[in-house]
Amino acid sequence: MRNRILTSILLLASIGCNQLDTDYAASRGKSINGVQVFTDLIRSEGFQVDQWPALGEHLYYDYDLVIVFHDNFSAPDSESIEYLEELMSWSDATTFLFVGRDLDIAPRYWRTVSSQLSQGADPEQAERASQLATDALNKLKANLSTTYDLYLSNEFFGGTFFSVELPESENNIREISEIIVKHPEESKKQDEKSFPCQWELYRKLVPSPKANVLWQTSDKEPLLISQESDGTRLFALGSAYPLLNGALIDQGNQKLALELLRLLEPTGKIAVVSKNIVFDPNKEDSGLLRFLKVYPHPWIASHLLLFLGLFCLSRLVIFGRPRVEVYKDLKRFGAHVEALGDLMRRTRQTQFAKKRILEWKERRSAGRKPGAK
């Protein structure tokens, strides 16, 4: 099962320049920045996983682990933080993972495409792919130019859980090929394991003194942290990079994703939330707009609207099927007889038709030359 899932994502490498989908944390489709493969990887381990587009009341019951992908480059809004705190206090879930947003796969993807095209003696397309890689990276760095703190105010996790800081220099992008992993219970014993991976980072995760560092680079830079209070465990991953579809092509990242699952130790159902926003059923736009925000409803609605538009256009005279005009030779006397017969059929007035025949004969007689028969 797992091999089939991962093989399908390998097809992403053949996507053309004009067909690349980079939708972040997408739970469906073939986005290189999506999380569908990560979800399927969890399912292949025998766990039941539900995917949700936003936070909501549906997360209060039946779930043991809730994984939230933060889809913004800045700090979470106060509403989503308050909702997370309420879930930690009142829901059935005992473990929560907050996955921050940093660099994604797009720049690395275009660099790989550029390298392959260069080897294939296609310098023009290779240069184009290289420029796309530069543009994608500059766009990400522009959005990653802010810092923030994740502050929790509930009684269990009061205070700043972690901070996100900028690198020391503007071009300080770290390419991580190996990380050090600790288990929460093993961290006291200083038992460590190293995992190879492909991971690019821009900003830094700075944990609070209360947090335990579970993943770190060889330079002791924290990547995954945790904190436990009153039976509730809260984890934070600095970047979703190794969990995204395009990154899970690498076997090291696959093992890393499974190691993350081992650290989380789920015992029941798992919820994966692709956007760190709160779904409020009491809002005015929670009817049709709420319906349209859930996949695949937007696609269904758009296709119905397109079909309705085409149907309306087909009924308009200017856009409909062309009408066939029957050519008639007006100089042929039989055409006049046929027209007269059609007139009599439609009007059903014999006297009116005879009057028209007499008028035609009078005009014809007046137009003859003297002596003509």
User: Taking the domains of the chain in order of start, what are their residue ranges?
Assistant: 2-103+144-283, 333-366
Rg (CA), the chain: 35
List per-residue pLDDT tens for the chain, 373 residues long.
444 444 444 444 444 445 688 999 988 888 999 999 999 999 999 999 999 988 988 899 999 999 999 999 999 998 999 999 889 889 999 999 999 999 999 999 999 988 888 887 778 888 999 999 999 999 999 999 889 999 888 766 778 899 999 988 767 889 999 999 886 665 455 567 889 999 999 999 999 988 999 999 988 999 999 998 888 999 999 999 999 999 999 999 999 999 999 999 999 999 999 988 887 655 544 456 656 666 667 778 888 888 888 888 777 666 556 666 666 666 666 677 677 777 777 777 777 777 777 877 787 777 655 554 4
Q: Which residue spans within the chain are E strands per DSSP?
A: 49-52, 63-69, 95-99, 148-152, 159-165, 174-181, 193-201, 204-207, 212-217, 222-229, 232-237, 269-273
Residue-level pLDDT at 1? 47
Order of strands across the sheet with 49-52?
A: 49-52, 269-273, 63-69, 95-99, 232-237, 222-229, 212-217, 174-181, 193-201
**CA distance to 67, 154, 318, per residue, from 273 (Å):** 6, 21, 49
* Chain-centroid distance, C-alpha 10: 19
- Residue identified by tokens 């009924």 is 315
Cβ 155 vs Cβ 81: under 8 Å: no
Residue-level pLDDT at 371? 52
Closest to 95 in 3D by CA, of 262, 220, 253, 258:
262
Cβ 276 vs Cβ 52: under 8 Å: no
Residue-level pLDDT at 241? 96
Residue-level pLDDT at 240? 95
pTM greater than 0.85: no
**CA distance to 105, 178, 241, per residue, from 250 (Å):** 12, 13, 12
**Cα dihedral: 108, 113, 118, 120 (round 10):** 150
Cβ 95 vs Cβ 233: under 8 Å: yes
